[in-house]
Amino acid sequence: MVTCVQDLRNGCKESDIVSVFTTLNEQDEVVQDLEDVMIIIQNVIPISKSLKPTAVSLLCDVISRSPLIFAQLVACINSIEHTDGQYKNNTHGDTSNLYREILGKVFTTRIDCLFNNIISIRGNNVELQYVKSLFFGSKLFNILSIQISIVDYLESLNKQWGYICSNERYNKIPKLVQRYLADLLLAELILNPAFATDYLFDKLFFRNAEFYHFFLNIMKTANTIAGKKMVVKYLTPYLESKLNHNTLPTVFIILSNLSAFKLFDSNSLLSIKSHELQEIIIRNIPSVTGYSIFSSLASKFGFIDNRLDSNIARLLVMILTYTLSKEQRQEISHNSDFLQTVTKRLGSMDHDVRERTMYIAKLVSDNELKYESNFVIEIPNLTIDMDP
């Protein structure tokens, strides 16, 4: 198929470049033919330093709209640098640096670049994994790391996500692909957990209502594994770091909007240091989930690990106080494994271990167990509104 890009095959005058790229941009045409891609990479980019800013800007627009040109540039840079590294030859260094400079300019100044790559995916897992590894793995960052820091890279990704955060653009993403956006966010968090958490949550999704709504949409369509990992491993520690008396209601609302309470288990609850956050979660988990978590924690309680014992005891008290029904408590009181745990712990030489055990056993029995002690396992007993 003959396209206007073919006009640049035999030599490139700046006027021709401007004319061809203006036509492409005005017609919103995406360069998808590999022959056209190579004409731009081999004929236009090498002379880009001699072009006026207007022509370079048009070039960047064309590259940003074409995932194929963007991907081919990455491949060319990797190929050149692999060859030069293998044969100790730097003859292609200037070409590689020029490609890198254009690639970096497109990524940092054209905020539609990620969006154009995402909408090019047609439910093909290979395409999805490529976009994921390109932007959120180390493929693109490794190339650009000579020019920009990880902080700058994440800042540019935020701008890319920000461009997508509108109903009009989000709705252009194929439905089959929308459910994978959480996987892309997760890959970014894995790329650099310390900085990416702050950039994605603090500086993007919790910055305003529109972006927050977009985040909720992503999480609603996420697959179970990605959604749970996002909430438990990354969002919860972030929320915990921001937790204080004033932010408690906000944290509850965020977790509630995400339907996140059902995602927690005994291990994830134990990893939370804030007793207030633990209580918010426990007071909102379904009773059947609470029973399962209680059983798991009670099993750990039998091993008497001094590093975890007081935390496990506090969680057990919260579950008994806020989550379990009278019938569930009665069932636990007759459970042979729980009774064996109580017997084992009462034989401990540690006074606090015995006191924790009796305090919990008394709660399980609905205070019918006769045991006098001033020992108390304190829980936050929050007064914030947590109605659904």
Task: Transcribe 105-161 into DSSP letters.
Answer: HHHHH-TTHHHHHHHT--S-HHHHHHHIIIIISSHHHHHHTTTS-HHHHHHHHHHHH
HSE-up (13 A, CA, CB side) for residue 186 = 20
In this prediction, residue 270 carries a pLDDT of 98
Contacts of 260 (CB under 8 A, 6+ apart): 231, 235, 254
The DSSP code for 10 is S
Per-residue pLDDT at 85 = 56
Q: Is the pTM of this model over 0.75?
A: yes
Residues in contact with 244: Cβ distance below 8 Å, sequence separation at least 6, in sequence order: none
Environment class of 200 (CB within 10 Å of its CB; exposed 0-12, middle 13-18, buried 19+): buried
Cα–Cα distance, 317 to 311 (Å, whole number): 10
- Which residues, other chains included, contact 352 with Cβ-Cβ below 8 Å and sequence gap of 6+? 309, 310
Give the pLDDT of the chain (388 residues) as one tens digit per residue.
446 898 888 778 899 999 999 999 999 999 999 999 999 999 999 999 999 999 999 999 999 999 999 999 999 999 998 775 543 445 456 899 999 999 999 999 999 999 999 999 987 889 999 999 999 998 999 999 999 999 999 999 999 999 999 889 999 998 889 999 999 999 999 999 999 999 999 999 999 999 999 999 999 999 999 999 999 999 999 999 999 999 999 999 999 999 999 999 999 999 999 999 999 999 999 999 999 999 999 999 999 999 999 999 999 999 999 999 999 999 999 999 999 999 999 999 999 999 999 999 999 999 888 888 999 999 999 999 987 6
Q: Show the 3-state SS of 60-78.
A: HHHHHHCHHHHHHHHHHHH
Phi, psi (degrees; rounded to nearest 5) at 180? -100, 0
The owner of tokens 């959120």 is 136
pLDDT of the residue at 122: 82
- Close Cβ partners of 205 (under 8 Å, ≥ 6 residues apart): 211, 212, 214, 215
Residue 121, number of CB atoms within 10 A of its CB: 21
As a three-state string, the secondary structure of 220-252 is HHCCHHHHHHHHHHHHHHHHHHCCCCCCHHHHH
Structure tokens given for 227: 């959604």
> Can you say whether the dihedral through the CA atoms of 321, 325, 331, 334 is positive or negative?
positive
pLDDT value of position 96:
92
Distance CA 92, CA 326 (A): 76
Contacts of 359 (CB under 8 A, 6+ apart): 313, 317, 373, 375, 376, 377
pLDDT at residue 167, rounded to an integer: 86
Q: In this predicted structure, what is the pLDDT of residue 388?
A: 60
CA 263 to chain centre: 15
Q: What are the phi and psi torsion angles at 208 (to 5°)?
A: -155, 170
Tokens 């999805």 — which residue? 128
Residues with Cβ within 8 Å of 129's Cβ and at least 6 positions away in sequence, in order, are none
Phi and psi of 13, rounded to 5°?
Answer: -90, 150
pLDDT at residue 82, rounded to an integer: 77
pLDDT of residue 90: 53
Sign of CA pseudo-dihedral 379, 385, 387, 388: negative
